[in-house]
Structure 1
Amino acid sequence: MRNQTGITLFIVRGLPQLQVLLLIFLFLTYILSVTGNLTIITLTLVDHHLKTPMYFFLRNFSFLELSFTTVCIPKFLYNMSTRDYTVTYDACFTQYFFGILLGISEFFLLAAMSYDCYVAICKPLHYTTIINNRVCNQLILGCWLSGLMIIVPILGEFLELEFCDSNIIDHFVCDLSPLLEITCSDTQFLERMILAFAVLTLIITLVLVVLSYSSIVRTILRFPSVEQRKKAFSTCSSHMIVVSMTCGTCIFIYIKPSEKEGVAMNKIVAVLATSVAPAMNPFIYTLRNKQVIQAFRNTFKKVYIYFKAIKGN
């Protein structure tokens, strides 16, 4: 990658207020996110009770969350701790590429997880036939390919941008709005393309989620047992909370018209989306999931017994 105007460094302004508190906050949420998502990935790999399509999708979702927060947070933590807020041109666009790729793939994965819930609740007798290993792998591949198909043409246009005077990015990551603000190129076509892809992604994924959960709710309400209905709603509620959080932040940042007075608020929402949400999601999915909790206990006991045996020898 190269810049036509010779700019090789950008400067990220970040959030100048409360730098020390923000550094501590982001560090703690990042550690929490890494710990929670790695725990889910490990448990779904080692515990044979979690070798099901639902936990296969959950493992891939945790991987996306872990990768997404790693793309954004560590660099900014380094910037704040060293007070070196520079980022190279190539690193900036690489961060943007992977951030959007992972974000879009996550949206499509949430839609795939909704479909998995639909089949599990609405067609339980055919679940193992419909959601087999081949279908699971195809859905995951489709999520990644969808992300690539959307981000590649956008990035191609981004690389043609010229930066005449300013190289100061009014954000803590290389994101869409702050980069468009400092370019001297005509961005009308690019902005329309980004808006079209963002709306298309949201419409496709939200329609799939809404259709899946409409059928799920209708099916659950027909269950004769109150206990069955509560159990089914409990299974789906965690996923719906995560979908609402993810879609809400995306709509606020990318669909909402960009106003100069809203830049600070966009940065705060971006901080929450890249740090708090990935840290919370593992707990949202696991705290009400007895299978995952039991798997964690079993794994912890095995590790404890193993280290106790080593210590005894």
Structure 2
Amino acid sequence: MNPVNHTQVTGFVLLGLSQAWELRIFFFMVFLTVYFCTVMGNLLIVAIVSSDPHLHTTMYFLLANLSFLDFCYSSITSPRMLADLLSGNPTISFGGCLTQLFFFHFIGGIKIFLLTVMAYDRYVAISQPLRYPLIMNQGVCGLFMAGSWVGGFIHSIVQVALTVQLPFCGPNKLDNFYCDVPQLIKLACTDTFALELLMVSNNGLVTLMCFLVLLGSYTALLIMLRSHSREGRSKALSTCASHIAVVTLIFVPCIYIYARPFRTFPMDKAVSVLYTMVTPMLNPAIYTLRNKEVIDAMKKLWRKYIVTRGKQEH
């Protein structure tokens, strides 16, 4: 590769969701609302779990971490996308593009590993309820979280290391609203067939295998629940249904984007919007609407806020 080629493209033009000004204004209003709901919903769950001693358990610790990651994940792409919708010529520097790519895959990788940990947590809780506090203690939970962060970092740094070596000499138009591997690779001034296969293996096949393992584990859990009491089965089913819904919303779009050759398809941008903006907004609703303990804790937090505000006013 010619090193000179690396300096020929200093930035990229993000084509975004639309070039029409009216549509961009409409998208801005819609996604500003979506991002606001995402931030408020996920940070509210973090606050609820942190403030209520009854929720200081492994399951809710993992749920609060997932909510924090959803907040971070959405914030990597949404603020810039909102600004670019109002900009006449949205561009991003080469360094800024790689930085966004790094954090996008870093947080995304942590989420995938965390969902696997959450599936294991539910498996232990249902299959071995008496030994559950011993198996999933604070130390083990902390190790799982540390492993998720390390795994996410390794996954992400591989993406950046492989991408930064590519020569980019034009064109410099990225057909998306954020920087990601599939769009960047298509702009490289070299044959990227072998690299695409490596990226598909690293991203798509690993994601697909994790998804199948998770589905298998939840299927085993559902079969195991048949021997439980009606009340216990109902509560466990509600929790598992929430987990399965979140896993499906996160993994299916990722499999669609990464587990295939990096070619452009009509649904690509819609799917990208789904898993970068819509899914992080839906996750809090999926968990809170189906969880009585979280709803009760939310009411307690709200009453505490009202009482505190009343005292301040008097």
Q: Provide TM-score, normalisation by structure 1.
A: 0.94
Provide Cα deviations, 1:74-111, integer angstroms capped at 9, x if missing partner. Answer: 01111112334011111111001110111111111101
Match of 2:167 among 155, 162, 166: 162
Per the alignment, residue 274 of structure 1 pairs with 276
Give 1:311's aligned residue: 313
In 2, Cα distance between the equivalents of 1:107 and 1:212?
A: 15
The whole-number CA distance in structure 2 between the counterparts of 1:234 and 1:147 is: 29
Partner of 1:106 in structure 2? 111
Instruction: Check the 8 A contact 1:12/1:169 in 2, yes or no.
Output: yes
After TM superposition, the structure 1 stretch with the greater mean CA deviation from structure 2, 63-72 or 229-238, is 229-238
CA distance in 2, matches of 1:290, 1:23: 34
Gaps of 5+ in 1: none
| Contact 1:169/1:178 (<8 A) preserved | yes
Q: How many residues align?
A: 308
Q: Secondary structure at the match of 1:124?
A: coil
TM superposition outliers: structure 1 runs of 4+ over 6 Å: none
Counterpart of 1:236 in structure 2 is 240
Separation in 1, partners of 2:283, 2:255:
19
SS at match of 1:196: helix
Out of 224, 227, 230, the position equivalent to 2:231 is 227
> CA shift at 1:228, angstroms?
2.8
Letter in 1 for 2:95: D
Q: CA RMSD in A?
A: 1.6
2:293 is matched with 291
Gaps of 5+ in 2: none
% of aligned pairs identical? 35
The answer as to whether partners of 2:5 and 2:169 remain within 8 angstroms in 1 is: no
The whole-number CA distance in structure 2 between the counterparts of 1:213 and 1:71 is: 30
In the TM superposition, residue 179 of structure 1 has moved relative to its aligned partner by 1.1
Q: Please state how far the C-alpha of 1:165 moved relative to its aligned partner.
A: 2.1
CA–CA separation in structure 2 for the residues paired with 1:124 and 1:112? 17
SS at match of 1:184: coil
Partner residue, 2:82: 77
CA distance in 2, matches of 1:205, 1:251: 10
Aligned 8 A contact 2:50 2:56 in 1: yes
Contact 1:171 1:178 in 2 (8 A): yes
Contact 2:163-2:181 at 8 Å conserved across structures: no
Q: Write the mapping of 1:248-267 to structure 2, written as runs, cut at 5 A.
A: 248-260=252-264, 262=265, 264-267=266-269
Deviations 1:21-77 (A, max 9, x none): 111111111000000000011111111011000011011111111111000110111
Alignment of 1:50-89 (within 5 A): 50-89=55-94
Q: Helix, strand or coil for the counterpart of 2:12?
A: strand
Tell whether the 8 Å contact from 1:65 to 1:278 is kept in structure 2 after alignment: yes
Higher mean displacement: 83-92 or 297-306: 83-92
* 1:192 shift after superposition: 1.6
- Asked if the contact 1:95/1:174 (under 8 Å) is kept, the reply is yes
User: TM-score, with normalisation over the residues of structure 2?
Assistant: 0.94
* Whole-Å separation in 2 of the counterparts to 1:219 and 1:71: 39
Bigger drift between 187-196 and 71-80 goes to: 187-196
C-alpha distance in structure 1 between counterparts of 2:246 and 2:216, whole Å: 17
Give the aligned partner of residue 144 of structure 1.
149
Q: For the Cα contact (< 8 Å) 1:154–1:193, is it kept in 2?
A: no
1:10 is matched with which residue: 8, 12, 30? Answer: 12
